[in-house]
């Protein structure tokens, strides 16, 4: 198994690093690295570098870093997926962020929907945002991505649909239970060249007003069939279908 670790972009050019804190705990106590062991460092922006453990101390792990490069199978060659994900209760948004990262999503925009159970004040929004970025980095480490999704501050669906961070000609889709007669898979035939913006709702679903506003902004309402899926299941299933259609999954 290849050992992988996220480091800030500037660290890849340092030549040598002294890693402490959580990085030390992960390397020394979880991976139990020793001098001479190899690992891969990645910066979350698409670059990675091979590195070698020089020595392990009580509070620091010293690492020698080789020249950084971009992996040959850089996922950004694929049409990008932007996920507009309604914030879910408990740790369910963590799960959606984790799976979005594994499935190659390029950008995640957390959404406060009209029917969202979770309501975040400014402090909680900052805390959740930092947590989601950490979840994404850890998922990227696990699945072998050199980049991790950009995660935007939380906004309403109306703001996100009108200013979606994606190419102007990207296919825009909003997942909604009333659109069962318009399956997601048919909207992806043929696969879009410019990428996809995909909106998935909260536990109570999108309101009709939100869907109507999204459609007015150029979104197509699509469904996942007759079953009523949990919000996190619908998001993950939809992303998997998108990833397959766009070539991120064989």
Neighbours of 32 (CB within 10 A): 9
Stretch 14-28: mean pLDDT: 90
107-146 confidence digits (pLDDT tens): 999 999 888 888 888 888 899 999 999 999 999 999 988 8
Whether residues 83 and 137 fall in one domain: yes
Per the structure, the count of domains in the chain is 2
Where would I find the beta strands (DSSP E) of the chain? 4-6, 16-19, 38-42, 48-56, 61-65, 81-86, 107-111, 150-151, 171-175, 196-200, 220-222
44-69 confidence digits (pLDDT tens): 888 888 999 999 999 999 999 887 77
81-100 confidence digits (pLDDT tens): 999 999 999 999 999 999 99
pLDDT of residue 220: 93
Q: Within a domain: residue 70?
A: no
Residue 76 has pLDDT above 60, yes or no: no
Q: Is 241 helix (H, G, I), strand (E, B) or coil?
A: helix
Residue 176 has pLDDT above 80, yes or no: yes
Whether residues 33 and 124 fall in one domain: no
Whether residues 23 and 126 fall in one domain: no
Which residue among 17, 38, 65 closes a domain? 65
Whether residues 110 and 186 fall in one domain: yes
Whether residues 199 and 177 fall in one domain: yes
Give the DSSP H/E element, type plus range, for residue 234: helix 231-245
Write the DSSP symbol of residue 248.
Answer: S
This prediction has a pTM of 0.85
Stretch 220-224: mean pLDDT: 93
Domain encompassing residue 108: 75-245
Residue 74 has pLDDT above 60, yes or no: no
- Give bridge partners of residue 19 from the DSSP assignment: 61
Residue 237 has pLDDT above 80, yes or no: yes
Q: Within a domain: residue 250?
A: no
Write the DSSP symbol of residue 115.
Answer: T
139-150 confidence digits (pLDDT tens): 999 998 889 999
What string of H, E and C letters represents the secondary structure of 156-221?
CHHHHHHCCCCCCCCEEEEECHHHCCCEHHHHCCCCCCCCEEEEECCCCCCCHHHHHHHHHCCCEE
Q: Do the beta carbons of residue 187 and residue 171 sit within 8 Å? A: yes
C-alpha to C-alpha distance for 23 and 38, rounded to whole angstroms? 15
More confident: 103 or 168: 103
C-alpha to C-alpha distance for 88 and 194, rounded to whole angstroms? 28
């Amino acid at each position: 198994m290849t050992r992988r670790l996220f480091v800030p972009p500037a660290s890849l050019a340092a030549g040598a690093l002294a890693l402490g804190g959580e990085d030390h705990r992960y390397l020394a106590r979880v991976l139990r690295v020793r001098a001479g062991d190899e690992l891969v460092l990645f910066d979350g922006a698409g670059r990675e570098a091979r590195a070698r453990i020089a020595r392990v101390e009580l509070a620091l792990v010293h690492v020698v870093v080789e020249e950084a490069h971009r992996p040959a199978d850089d996922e950004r060659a694929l049409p990008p997926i932007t996920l507009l994900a309604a914030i879910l209760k408990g740790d369910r948004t963590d799960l959606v962020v984790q799976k979005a990262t594994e499935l190659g999503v390029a950008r995640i925009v957390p959404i406060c929907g009209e029917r969202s159970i979770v309501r975040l004040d400014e402090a909680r929004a900052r805390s959740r945002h930092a947590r989601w970025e950490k979840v994404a980095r850890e998922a990227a480490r696990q699945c072998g991505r050199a980049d991790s999704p950009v995660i935007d501050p939380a906004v309403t669906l109306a703001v996100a649909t009108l200013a979606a961070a994606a190419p102007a000609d990207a296919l825009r889709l909003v997942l909604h239970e009333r659109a069962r007669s318009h399956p997601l898979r048919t909207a992806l035939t043929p696969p879009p060249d410019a990428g996809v913006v995909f909106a998935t709702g909260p536990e109570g679903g999108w309101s009709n007003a939100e869907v109507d506003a999204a459609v007015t902004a150029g979104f197509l309402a699509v469904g996942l069939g007759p079953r009523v899926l949990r919000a996190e299941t619908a998001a993950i299933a939809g992303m998997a279908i998108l990833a397959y259609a766009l070539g991120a999954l064989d």
